Amino acid sequence: MSIKAALNRMHYPVTTLGYGRRVGLWLQGCSIRCPGCVSQDTWEAGNALQHIDVEEIARVWQRWLPAADGLTISGGEPFDQPEALLALMRAWRRDDTRGGDILVFSGYPLETLRARHRTHLRALDVLISDPYEAGAGDTRMLRGSDNQRVTLATALARRRYPRDINTLPWSDGRRRLDMVVAGDDVWMAGIPRRGELARLQAALRERGLTCATSQQPRQSSQPQQPQKLQEQPQLLPVRA
């Protein structure tokens, strides 16, 4: 049976959201809606054009597998599409002969995920859980806010990521954004410092340029449509 995922974007290489150079998938749709979220363009559930067969997504990542160190799945909220999320992780394990790790971001509390999605938690290596809290500080690596928790679920994860990652601060060298120019759009992947997108927008405005950022939800009259996977897989837009 074909399983479809509502996909916002797909990109390789992503170097800012986990170990090494990774394939990044951003799923579309989030029911959690944390105040201050920098990914509000992913909140609306995907339109029909964004529902893509998991095997089609897997076909695209084939060309990246020989060099990829792992798979990062973010969103949106990946666990709002539990069937697609599990299918994607299983397809990655099936295809990835290099043994890359799977890292998943979720805004659900760790306890909720443990109660509802045990099978999923057994399929991943690294989980970053809990909702974004704007008032919680943003000093810890790989997280948007300091209340979020990192679970290193496998031996591979414990080899690749620092054991004290839950309390480890960002170092200046590590906190970066991947930037990709795709047509008229510039996309960033990574976790920006608080207020960074607003500062970028203001700086561009001073130079006479306007831009929308992912902190601004798209209007329902302007449904986002991912680029056709088969046409420009290397330029599938990425987002912060």
Looking at residue 71, its amino acid is: L
Nearer Cβ to ligand SF4 (44/101) = 44
Nearest partner of 91 among 189, 156, 190, 2, judged by Cα: 2
Residues 6+ apart with CB under 8 A from 54: 2, 3, 4, 5, 84, 87, 88, 91
Q: Are 55 and 2 in contact (CB under 8 A)?
A: yes
Q: Candidates 74-82, 96-104, 147-155, 182-190 — which segment interacts with ligand SF4 by CB under 6 A?
A: 74-82
Q: How far is the CB of 30 from ligand SF4 (least distance, A)?
A: 3
The alpha carbon dihedral of 27, 31, 34, 38 has a sign of positive
Rounded-to-integer distance, Cα 17 and Cα 175, Å: 10
- Total of residues contacting ligand SF4 (CB under 6 A): 13
Nearest partner of 73 among 92, 55, 95, judged by Cα: 92
Q: Candidates 37-45, 62-70, 149-157, 180-188 — which segment interacts with ligand SF4 by CB under 6 A?
A: 37-45
Nearer Cβ to ligand SF4 (77/96) = 77
CB neighbourhood size of 165 (10 A): 19
Residues of this chain, 92-111, that bind ligand SF4 according to CB under 6 A: 107
Residues of this chain, 4-33, that bind ligand SF4 according to CB under 6 A: 30, 32-33
Q: Are 91 and 54 in contact (CB under 8 A)?
A: yes
64 binds ligand SF4 (CB under 6 A): no
Q: Is residue 239 packed enough to be buried (19+ CB in 10 Å), middle (13-18) or exposed (0-12)?
A: buried
Q: Are 27 and 75 in contact (CB under 8 A)?
A: yes
Quick one: which of 75, 190, 226, 237 contacts ligand SF4 (CB under 6 A)?
Answer: 75
Quick one: which of 77, 101, 125, 196 contacts ligand SF4 (CB under 6 A)?
Answer: 77
Residues of this chain, 127-186, that bind ligand SF4 according to CB under 6 A: 131-132
Q: How far is the CB of 147 from ligand SF4 (least distance, A)?
A: 12
CB neighbourhood size of 181 (10 A): 10
Q: How far is the CB of 35 from ligand SF4 (least distance, A)?
A: 8
Nearer Cβ to ligand SF4 (75/226) = 75
Nearer Cβ to ligand SF4 (32/58) = 32
By the criterion CB under 6 A, which residues form the site for ligand SF4? 30, 32-34, 37, 39, 42, 75-77, 107, 131-132
